[in-house]
Amino acid sequence: MATLGMSGTERAAVEKFRQDVVEPSMTNLVILDFWAEWCGPCKQLTPVLEKVAAQYADRGVRLVKVNVDEEKFIAAQFRIQSIPTVYALFQGQPVADLSGARTEGQLSGALDQLLAQLPIQGEAQQLEAEIEPLIAMGEQVLGEGDAERAASIFRQIVEMAPENAEALAGLARALVATGELDEARTTLARVPEKEAGATAVAQARSAIALAEIAPAGESGELESRIAANPDDHAARYELAGTLMARGDRDAAADQLLESIRRDRDHDDGAARKRLLQLIEAVGLEDPWAAAQRRRLSAILFG
């Protein structure tokens, strides 16, 4: 706002706006709420704005309220015609009109979209940048088979970010690999509800489920049953579980795929369901998982 030709009061209002709104918006997302004491809808919206702004404070969101009766000049610059009017500002410019967001869910959804698009660096974003390479390290170590070291790495990440879904899921999977199923379940239960559908969480959930159902028995008898009757699907299913428990995912997948090839509908598609569960536990982006999906597709659609 140019101050040429303004009165002293107007220049003071502009300076206050610069300090309270423009400067913070250089690095933060500022929610600018135009309101008045006599406005009933404003009073209903205020607690929603304050609650959501507090929840997003560590992600670089700040709430600034502008009383249109006390700061008429600023309201006029924004051409406020009705209230409540709520804008989101970044680097001194309006980036969204949030006036239609009247519930916590609507406002949170709008903020999530904005934060995903704008280079805002709040405490939460900085922490995410710090732990991202650590999570990658934990996944690499776990993939190399050193579950105990992976668990140690993920524990350190969880100490830094107690609600990080990827870290909690990684720790749960590492605990499954070390045989600590009870702790793995407890760890996964700590994932925030809003992150419950995340890919990493689903992967950990499948790993736990596989560990719960995979028997750790001997394979000799099962192999003999299959040699005597290649269509003994129950034996193949149990053998696959035993192989999973040993960590031999290749042989487990072979047994399940052969069962599917022989009778894809046996026991309501049990072999296919367990194979998909194994693939999810390994990770859908893993090259091994991609290879098994291709093998499965060749059987089902070839």
Q: Which of 74, 100, 87, 116 is nearest to 25 (CA)?
A: 87
**For the chain, percent helix, then strand, then coil, each to nearest 5?**
65, 10, 25
- Strand-strand pairing, 29-35 and 61-67: parallel
Options 14, 21, 31, 39, the catalytic residue: 39
Residue 14 in contact with residue 1, Cβ under 8 Å? yes
190 is a catalytic site residue: no
First to last CA, the chain: 67
42 is a catalytic site residue: yes
Query: DSSP character for 97?
Result: E
Buried b (16+ CB within 10 A) or exposed e, 152-165: ebbbebbeebeebb
- Measured distance CA(32)–CA(2) in Å, rounded: 20
Q: Which of 92, 61, 65 is nearest to 80 (CA)?
A: 65
Options 29, 42, 150, 207, the catalytic residue: 42
Residues with a known catalytic role: 39, 42
